[in-house]
């Protein structure tokens, strides 16, 4: 899925989220418990947090008192927040579905059977090499024994070399 397709999906998410957010706001207007217990407190908290962050970014410190937020402004803040939550949820859902789709439709590059075949081939080659190494070690041992026997025979058959005849030849 290329970049233009992702942009199309995000535009569609925004288009879908607006009616959902509007439906939540309409529900909040019609049901005072939901409006007074959820939407207005969320909207006021968001507005207060926004004010605190702006003051901190400007280097003015923490505000001593924050003016109360009107009910309409709190509902607007809550509406924007709900819309962003819907977009986020929709995006996560789309990406999860896309991931599952690609995972289950993609061809496995290496199958278990193929791995077993490779493993069996490597084990067979390992066994062959191990046998060859053992064979070479035996040959080396035999050659070492033969060489030692030849050295011993050559030492027995040849007379010991004399160091020097007639002493030292100093002063010539």
Q: What is the pLDDT of residues 6-48, one digit of tens each?
A: 778 778 877 877 787 778 778 877 888 888 888 889 888 988 8
CA 117 to chain CA mean position, Å: 29
152-168 pLDDT tens trace: 888 888 766 655 555 55
Report pLDDT for 104: 80
38-49 pLDDT tens trace: 888 988 898 888
Separation in Å, CA 54 to CA 17, 20, 62: 27, 29, 10
**Which pLDDT band, with edges at 50, 70 and 90, does 3 fall under?**
low
DSSP label at residue 170: T
CA 72 to chain CA mean position, Å: 45
| pLDDT beyond 50 at 172 | no
* pTM tops 0.75: no
**Which pLDDT band, with edges at 50, 70 and 90, does 169 fall under?**
low
59 dihedral zone (left: phi>0; alpha: psi -120 to 50; beta) = left
Better pLDDT: 54 or 2 = 54
d(CA 7, CA 14): 11
92-137 pLDDT tens trace: 887 888 888 888 877 766 778 888 899 999 999 999 999 999 999 9
């Amino acid at each position: 899925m290329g970049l233009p397709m992702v942009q199309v999906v995000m535009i569609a998410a925004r288009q879908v989220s607006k009616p959902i957010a509007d439906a939540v706001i309409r529900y909040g207007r019609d049901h005072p418990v939901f409006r007074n217990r959820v939407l207005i407190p969320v909207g006021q908290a968001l507005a207060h947090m926004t004010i605190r962050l702006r003051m901190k970014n400007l280097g003015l410190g923490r505000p001593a008192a924050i003016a109360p937020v009107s009910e309409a402004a709190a509902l607007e803040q809550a509406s924007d927040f709900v819309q962003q939550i819907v977009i986020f949820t929709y995006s996560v859902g789309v990406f999860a579905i896309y991931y599952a789709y690609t995972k289950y439709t993609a061809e496995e590059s290496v199958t278990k059977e193929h791995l077993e075949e490779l493993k069996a081939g490597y084990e067979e080659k390992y066994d062959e090499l191990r046998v060859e190494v053992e064979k070479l070690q035996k040959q080396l041992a035999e050659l070492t024994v033969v060489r030692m026997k030849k050295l011993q025979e050559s030492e027995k058959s040849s007379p010991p070399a004399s160091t020097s005849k007639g002493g030292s030849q100093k002063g010539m």
